[in-house]
Amino acid sequence: MRDTKPLLLARSDFPAIFRKPLEVLQLNLGYLCNLSCVHCHVNAGPKRTELMSRETMDRILALAGVAQIHTLDLTGGAPEMHPEFMYLVRTARKAGIKVIDRCNLTILEHPDYRDMADFLAEQQVEIVASLPCYLQENVDNQRGKGVFKDSVAALQRLNRLGYGQADGDLRLNLVFNPQDAVLPPDQNTLEQAYKQHLSQEYGIVFNRLFAIANMPIQRFGSLLVSQGRFDSYLDLLKQNFRAENLDNLMCLNTISIDWQGYIYDCDFNQMLAMPMGADARPRPHIGELNLTQLEDAPIATAVHCYGCTAGQGSSCGGALASA
């Protein structure tokens, strides 16, 4: 797989941005996943062995208490496959911290994780679930044969537990990723199409749709390089830059922590091994973090950051224009 980091840094001219008060910790619990999706920016898969230790989890939970963090945002891989996933969620919820689970849905239908959906509902975990299209052919082409069928079954299971109801407390949000090297369509219009199709065909309801641009890093970036479309995609992102999106970037109030406990400005920078800030400091570890160092600190950027500011904007919470 081609390393796209040198290509991104060589064209880095993104505007300077600086941190606001810290509110969210996004944790990558490891790269183990039951799927190997083409658009995956972390190169996760069934053969990956990297997993966060319980010691690192406890350090993160301690930091969350001191910093008065209101949200833990759990990613992977498939975060539910981590053997300490339930411990982490229970401990955070007991402390009154909101937990978001970034779920690929199919894991909820895996024989070894059939009780996971009930656990998530019991703990009132917000689910952000990947469903890159509402059509079976497109989903299976992007994520593998049978993924759409399992995703629909998982969504129906979550609905039976109370997820996705307009007046309920169990939030279920879906994530759309483009099939190709293009910007996502208008999020609100696409959300209505998703809701209409999934309701009519499968009786599925959900709260919001998040339209997220594909980042030209890791597996997707390598694919673009192999097809000779890497530069044209970067040009597309830069040509559609909107300065008004800068104020809503999720990196302003979030730090990303990898499976080893090292800290980055965002999940994408983590995948590029870019140290925090605008200089060449060694990457800080959760056990060494001084919270005062984050106040108004510069955020490390490169040309991939245009993926978050192009068009309607893009973040782990969907289009920035609706933030």
Please tell me the predicted confidence (pLDDT) of residue 36.
64
Q: Are strands 254-257 and 172-176 parallel, antiparallel or unpaired?
A: unpaired
- Give the model's pLDDT for residue 8: 67
Flag residues of the chain having pLDDT under 70. 1-11, 36-43, 278-281, 321-323
Quote the CA–CA distance of 320 and 317 in Å, as a whole number: 8
Q: Which residues pair with 73 in a beta bridge?
A: 26, 100
Q: Are 174 and 131 in contact (CB under 8 A)?
A: yes
DSSP 289-321: --GGGGTT-B----GGGHHHHBTT--BTTB-GG
Tell me, what's the pLDDT at 160?
98
- Residue 43 maps to which CATH number? 3.20.20.70
Q: What percent of the chain has pLDDT over 90?
A: 66
A 10 A CB-CB count for 202 gives 15
Distance from C-alpha of 123 to C-alpha of 100, rounded to nearest angstrom: 11
Which pLDDT does position 291 carry in this prediction? 86
Domain count, the chain: 1
Cis omega (within 30 of 0) for bond into 317: no
- The pTM assigned to this predicted structure is 0.92
Write the pLDDT tens digit of every residue in 6-62: 666 666 789 999 999 999 999 999 999 987 665 555 667 778 989 999 999 999 999
Given a contact cutoff of 8 angstroms between Cβ atoms, the answer to whether 9 and 275 are in contact is no
Residue 33, phi-psi category: left (phi > 0), alpha (psi -120 to 50), beta (remainder):
beta
- H/E stretch holding 189 reads helix 187-202
The amino acid occupying position 25 is L
Average pLDDT, the chain: 90
- Side by side, the strands of the sheet bearing 98-103 are 208-211, 172-176, 126-130, 98-103, 71-75, 24-28, 254-257, 263-264
Q: Is 288 helix (H, G, I), strand (E, B) or coil?
A: helix
Strand partners for 129: 103, 174
Give 257's strand partners. Answer: 27, 263
Full residue range of the structural domain in which residue 308 is found: 5-322
- Tally of residues, the chain: 323
CA distance 123 to 116: 11
State the Cα–Cα distance between residues 132 and 176, nearest whole angstrom.
Answer: 4
